Structure 1
Amino acid sequence: MYFRGRSHRSLDNKGRVMLPTAFRDILLSRSEGGNLVLTTYDRCVMGYPLPDWEEFEQKFHRLKNPSLKLRHFRRLVIGGAEEIVVDKQGRIRIPADHVAYGGLQKDIVIVGQGSKFEIWDKTRFEDLMTLNFDDVADELTESGIDFPI
């Protein structure tokens, strides 16, 4: 099961948002109690099922003598990681510093990205969707991915 699709949601004044039902089901199937980890990267908030996140952390901590750039990345991504519990209403609370990093206002978009999902401010996401993606097909082909359009 993968996170797919986009859902438009509203962030309440306590920083809570209702997850799409399909996303909640995936979390429940992939982690006990539906626990997840939220972190920051790429000017958005990213969500991972807890076991997937723990696997990523283990791999990252096996690195010997990481470069300064990787240490900074670790500070942003792993240092910003917080375990979150889905409440009985299917909501998650996005930490205030994550809200600030993502520039999240009231209107947000939750975007499935396969093994994870992203939470974007609606305006930032709309701006992202205006970018030109003409050269992506070549990059996919070079990576061995045939994208049938």
Structure 2
Amino acid sequence: MSHLIGEFDCKLDAKGRLMVPSGLKKQLPSVDVEGLVINRGFEKHLTIYSKTEWDKISEELSHLNQYEKKNREFIRYFTRGSSELSLDASGRVLLPKSLLEYAEIGSEVVLSCQFNKVEVWAKEAYELQMDDEPENFANLAEEVMGSKGRSINGE
């Protein structure tokens, strides 16, 4: 799977349905057949994966030693609320009410593509998160990526 790109402002209808933007749907050509999976993100947001990507994550989780408490807890919290999503004839997905409540999502959302997943944020929460950019992003980039022996923009 190629990496997903883009940021999309969307609105949910009164029933909690999200119209998948055409620019995102083009990046997920098999979504009509395989579907999607949504779960809780690490912050107060939701995360959508293609079913293929979710299966890879599930396989990885299945190899954790479930005799260790921290592994069981991680699996439990990571998969809590996970649900399959299917596109309807109009290209919409119904987001589970319990997940919308968890992420405090109202009608306005931002879909933010992050490599193999799409983060779903309440618009206000996303804007707050992005407004909290580190004072010196270049220092953060050096700290996180500097030891990798390459740069993001080729410099």
TM normalised by structure 1 equals: 0.88
CA distance in 2 between partners of 1:32 and 1:88 (Å): 10
Aligned twin of 1:140: 145
Whichever of the two has the greater Rg, that structure is: 2
CA change 1:68–1:120 in 2 (3 A) is: same
CA distance in 2 between partners of 1:14 and 1:32 (Å): 21
CA distance in 2 between partners of 1:117 and 1:100 (Å): 18
> What residue identity is the alignment partner of 1:95?
P
Equivalent pairs, count: 148
Aligned twin of 2:107: 106
List 4+ stretches of structure 1 deviating above 4 A: none
CA distance in 2 between partners of 1:86 and 1:6 (Å): 20
Superposed CA RMSD? 1.9
Contact 1:27–1:35 at 8 Å: present in 2 too?
A: no
Unaligned runs of at least 5 residues, structure 2:
none
TM normalised by structure 2 equals: 0.85
Aligned-pair identity in percent equals 24
For residues 30-82 of structure 1, give each alpha carbon's deviation from its aligned partner in whole angstroms, at most 9, with x where no partner exists. x5614010000221110000011011101111112364333222122223211
Contact 2:12–2:107 at 8 Å: present in 1 too?
A: yes
> What residue identity is the alignment partner of 2:93?
I
